[in-house]
Amino acid sequence: MELFWELFKCRRCGRCCYTPGAGLVLERGDIKRISEFLGSKKRLRSMCRKGEDGTWILKQPCPFYDSSEGCRIYEVRPLTCRLYPLHPPLKDMPFNLAVDSFCPAARDVAKKTLGWWAICEKHWAEIVKSSQE
């Protein structure tokens, strides 16, 4: 799993941050960390919409993205951003590793490592755990 992050070289294109989309679900830890960083939970709330189950969903394009500076909350960015372009497995496919082909740097890795994905797929839980540490 380290191999993915060793090979992955973010192009800093910002595509994952500035593209309009459904939004980015914030974990409890994300809300706490980012609110503390901003000094206001209310401010973060104003940048989110509420999901059906009460979750906070950060609006997209991301309000924290700056075209010259990049991510303005990089040190405290949400877990989803830390894992990207890897995606959590779907409920009905818990052991499948999903890599977002929308990301050009992920496509670079895929081109170099075709056979490697099958191995990586079996270790998804470890990948997620090590990315959270």
What phi and psi, each to the nearest 5 degrees, are found at residue 127?
-60, -45
Q: Cα 2 vs. chain centroid, distance in angstroms?
A: 17
Residue 98 lies near ligand SF4 (rule: CB under 6 A): no
Rounded Cα distance, 59 and 51, in Å: 11
Which of residues 62, 86, 99, 109 is near ligand SF4 by CB under 6 A? 62
Q: Are 87 and 99 in contact (CB under 8 A)?
A: yes
Listed ranges 42-50, 89-97, 101-109, 124-132: which one lies at the site for ligand SF4 (CB under 6 A): 101-109
Which of residues 25 and 71 has its CB atom nearest to ligand SF4 in the complex? 71
Listed ranges 25-33, 45-53, 99-107, 115-123: which one lies at the site for ligand SF4 (CB under 6 A): 99-107
Return the residues of window 18-47 that contact ligand SF4 according to CB under 6 A.
none
Rounded Cα distance, 52 and 42, in Å: 19
